[in-house]
Amino acid sequence: MRTSIRVDVSDHVLTITIDRPEAMNALDPPAHIELSAIFDSFAGDPQLWIAIITGSGDRAFSAGNDLKYLAQTPPDQRIPFPKTGLAGITARFDLNKPIIAAVNGVAMGGGFEIALACDLIIAADTAIFALPEPLVGVAATEGGVHRLSRMIPFKQAMGMLLTGQRVTAAQGAAMGFVNEVVAPSDLMDAARRWADAIIKGSPLAVRATKEMALCGQAYATVQKAMSATYPALEHLCASQDFIEGPKAFAEKRPPAWVGA
């Protein structure tokens, strides 16, 4: 079977590399399906706590959907996208494990939507972000419109969305959707540094925090969000990690998280 994705596991961290540099890491349906299966495995593996997704080479994180595939494949022969969306994550709303996008170059259209679906964006200073869909007669329907307009000031988001404006990594950091900008040679080390910082916390506490932050946005007030029920929080409160944290603090030692 053809594979367009490379994976590596190290110390609870899954690193996913889109490996189609000849196509600027654009994704055709088989690649989306492959990534969806990888994220299914990530979600279900208790030993995997964090994922990092990046692109192969130094030109592109991902140019989004593979338009060549669409142009060359008759509609009745096209493979449907997975229900989990582009790269298996843009429409995946039940994953409370953190995902870091290490953006090594161009993140255009669907590629930017993939990065926006992640929890953190670490960018090389050569990275470029844009949602140029209106310029080719389509719209950013895989979360780009809705996520960007919630992450940064609305007027700035509309400026990008309506014009297809290209934004540098530094501009993205100033707007607020990029967490850190580094030299290209430092990108993966920086992404791993963020992952290692997250790993210091209880994986169950991290998942509860992500679930509350995302699901809480559905409520109109902070009071209602705080009163809501969050399964990941209930899991945390009934876990060994919930006991281990205070115990380790009292004993002045590093906690030994088990994720259960």
| 259 domain residue, yes or no | no
5, amino acid identity: I
| 257 domain residue, yes or no | no
Task: CATH number of the domain at 59, please.
Answer: 3.90.226.10
- In tens, the pLDDT along 208-234 reads 999 999 999 999 999 999 999 999 999
Say whether both 207 and 194 belong to one domain: no
- In tens, the pLDDT along 227-258 reads 999 999 999 999 999 999 999 999 999 999 98
Say whether both 213 and 115 belong to one domain: no
Among candidate residues 113, 180, 244, 251, the one labeled active-site is 113
| 73 domain residue, yes or no | yes
244 catalytic? Reply is no
Say whether both 58 and 168 belong to one domain: yes
DSSP category for residue 27: B
Domain end call among 199, 214, 236: 199
Domain end call among 199, 222, 241: 199
Distance of CA 69 to the CA centre of its chain: 24
Give the total number of structural domains in the chain: 2
Which structural domain range is residue 183 located in?
Answer: 5-199
- Rounded to whole angstroms, the Cα distance separating 64 from 230 reads 33
> Max Cα separation, the chain?
65
- In tens, the pLDDT along 26-54 reads 998 889 999 999 999 999 999 999 999 99
Say whether both 51 and 172 belong to one domain: yes
180 catalytic? Reply is no
Say whether both 146 and 34 belong to one domain: yes
Would you say residue 171 has pLDDT above 60? yes
The pair of structure tokens assigned to 249 is: 């603090």
| 12 domain residue, yes or no | yes
Among candidate residues 133, 180, 211, 244, the one labeled active-site is 133
